Structure 1
Amino acid sequence: MAQRLFGCGTALVTPFMADGSIDEVALRAFVEWQVTEGVHMVIPCGSTGEAVTLAPAEHRRVVEITVEQVNGRVPVIAGAGSNDTQRAIATSREMKAIGATHLLHVTPMYNKPPQRAMIAHFRAIADACDLPIVIYNVPGRTAINLEARSCLELAADPRFVAVKEASGNLAQITHILRERPEHFAVLSGDDGFTLSVMAHGGDGVISVISNVVPALMSALCDAMARGDLTEARRLDAVLAPVAHAAFIESNPMPAKAMLAMMGRMREDLRLPLVPMLAAHHPLVRSALVQAGALAS
C-alpha cells in the first residue's frame, strides 16, 4: 500500500433491494468479481455509489463489507467527503476504524468555498485522521474547481497521495502532472480521458465503466503502464461505446441498468435518482454486446 496508487480503480455502485435496503449478497459478489477481474483498487461510497443518500450506518456497512471481501488484495479507498468539515472528519475516523486503506475526499459542494478555504478543509481532515487522502475534484457536481496551484500545494504534504481529476480540463491536469511530487498520483476522473491522462504521465483512472467492464479498463491501464500504445488505443476504441452509454443519463443510472442486464444486481436506485429511460436500453445493450460484456 506504500507505493503510489496506479491503474484502474472502480467507483463502486451500491446494489439495493426492491425495498431500498442494501443488497449485501449482491455487494459481496460484485466486489469479489471486481477484484478477480483485475482492478487495482476499489472505491466504495463515492458519487457512483449514491453515498449522498446513504445513512451513516449504511455508509459504514457498505465499506465494511467491501473491506471484508477485498481482504487486503487491493486498496479500499472509502468515500468520506462532505461539505461539512466536521462531518467529513467524523466519517473519515469511522472509515479508518473499519479498515479502509485510503480516504476519498471531494471538494465541498454547495458552500462554494474559495481556494484557501478548500485547502483549509482538506488539511483539517488530514490533521484529524491519519489515513492517506485522495482528493476528488469534480466541478461539474460541486460547482467549484480545485485549481492546479491549490492541488499542488496540498500534494506537497505527503498525507495527500493522489487526486481524482474530473475537471475535464486537460491543461489543468498536465500542469499538475508536470509539478507534482514523486509520491502523488494523478488519476483520471473521466473514463474518456484515461488514455490521454496516462499518455501525459498520469497513473490511472477512478472509473465508472469498470463497474461493467473491469477487465477491459484494467487492461487499458496496464497497456499504458507498459508503454503499449497500440493495444491501449485498441482497448480505448472497444470501451468508447460503453463510456458513451454510461453517461447517457445521470451516473449511476445507466451503470445500474447495464449491471441489471448482466444479471449482477437489481436496477434499483434511491430517489432523487430513478431507473434509466427504457428508450435508452437498445443503445446501452448494444454497447455491452460490442464490448463482449453481454451476449447478442
Structure 2
Amino acid sequence: MLKLEGIIPPIPTPFNVDGSFNEELFKDLIKWYLSVGVKGIAICGSTGEGYALLPDEYSRICGVTVKAVGGKVLVVAGVIVNSLNQALTYGKLAKDSGVDVLMITPPHYIFTPSEEGLYKYFKTIAEVLNIPITIYNVIPQTPVPLNVIIRLVNDVKLLVGIKQSRGDISGLADIIRAVGDKISIMSAIDDLLYPSFMLGARGAIAAICTVAPELCVELYELVKEGKYVEALKIHNKLLPIWRVVGQYDMPARVKTALELRGIPAGYPRIPLLPVSNDVRGEIKEVLRSVGLLS
C-alpha cells in the first residue's frame, strides 16, 4: 500500500497577470522542490488555489505535474469542492492524469453535513474512483470528528492518510493515538511541525513547507534522528516565517516569499491580489532574519 511520509509541499499554482496558468513557471517550481529532498508534490490544494480552478485547468495541472515528477515522488492532488458530484468529477480527472493520491476536504459551504453524511462522502469517493485518498481536515465549520475518522479507517482500505490542518495540537495527538499505526497522519499545523513530529506525525503537507522546504526537510530528519536541540533551532526559524505568511491572503504571501527567494511563482488569482509593498517588506525582512535571503 502507498505510504505518505516526509515533507510534501502543497505547491502554489503560478498564474499570469491575466489569470491564465503559467506552465513553464510551474515546471520550474516542481524541479526546485524535487531538488531539496521532498517526498511528494501536493497540487491544487489551498496554497495552490485549487478551489479556483476550472476542470480543464485542474486536469492540465495534474497531467503536467505527473509528467514533471516522472515517478520520483508521490503526486497528491487536492479536491476542494462542495458536492459529491463535483468531487467525483475532479477526482476522476486527477486519477485519469495519473496522480497517486487525492487530498479531499469536506464540503465547506455554509451548511454543515452530519457525521453520517461526512462518512458517506469520503467512503463513496474512495469506492467509486478506486484511488487512495487522504482526508484534508481543514474546514472550520465542517471538521471531520475523530469517531468518523476511526470508522473510515476501519471501513475504507483506500484511506491512506489524514492531513490535519486544524490548529489544535491535542486534536492531532488524539488522531495519532487512535489510528496513527494504521494510516499516515500528516501535520498541516504550520507553526507546530516540531511537536507534531515528536508526537508521531509521519510528515507534513503544510504551506510553510512551500516557502522553506529545505528547512522543513531538515527539521523532519533531525527529529527522526533524535537530534532535538538542533531540531528546535530549525523550528524557531520557521515560526517567524509562518507568522508573516500565514495570513488571510496566504497564497499571495507564499508567492511573494518565493519570488523574494529568487523562485518566481507568478500572480495569485482574483479575488486574491498581490501583496502591498508594506507586506512585501515585512516578508523580506523575516526571510533575511532567518538566513533565507542574503
Tell me, yes or no, whether TM beats 0.5.
Answer: yes
Q: Tell me how far 1:44 sits from its aligned partner.
A: 0.4
Give the match for residue 165 of structure 2: 166
CA distance in 1, matches of 2:248, 2:115: 31
CA distance in 1, matches of 2:265, 2:217: 24
How far did residue 267 of structure 1 move?
4.5
Q: What secondary structure sits across from 2:30 in the alignment?
A: helix
Q: What corresponds to 2:133 in structure 1?
A: 133
The one of 134, 138, 145 equivalent to 2:143 is 145
Amino acid aligned to 1:116: E
AA of the residue aligned to 2:146: A
Q: Distance in 1 between matches of 2:131 and 2:80?
A: 14
Contact (CA 8 Å) 1:249, 1:276: kept in 2 or not? Answer: no
Amino acid at match of 1:177: I
Summarize the alignment of residues 1-296 of structure 1 with structure 2, pairs less than 5 Å apart.
2-110=1-109, 111-140=111-140, 143-156=141-154, 157-180=156-179, 182-295=181-294
SS in 2 for 1:162: strand
Residues 173, 199 of structure 2: 8 Å contact kept:
yes
Letter in 2 for 1:28: K
Map Cα deviations across residues 1-37 of structure 1 (whole Å, 9 max, x no partner): x353111110110001122111111000000100111
Counterpart Cα distance in 2 of 1:37 and 1:291 = 18
Match of 2:61, SS state, is helix
Q: Which moved more, 1:167-176 or 1:64-73?
A: 167-176
**TM-score under structure 1 length normalisation:** 0.94
Structure 1: gaps of 5 or more residues: none
**Counterparts of 1:113 and 1:50, CA distance in 2:** 24
From the superposition, tell whether residues 3 and 266 of structure 1 become closer, same or farther in structure 2 (CA, over 3 Å): closer
The residue type paired with residue 122 of structure 1 is: F
CA RMSD of aligned residues (A): 1.5
Q: Percent identity?
A: 27
One-letter identity of the residue aligned with 2:195: S
SS in 1 for 2:250: coil
**TM-score, L = length of structure 2:** 0.95
How far off is 1:228 after superposition?
A: 1.9
What is the aligned length? 292
Give the gaps of 5 or more residues in structure 2.
none
Q: CA deviation at 1:266?
A: 5.0
Deviations 1:147-203 (A, max 9, x none): 111112112232111101111122221111111063301111121121111111111
Distance 2:49 2:87 in 1: 16
Paired with 1:267 and 1:15, the residues of 2 have a C-alpha distance of: 4
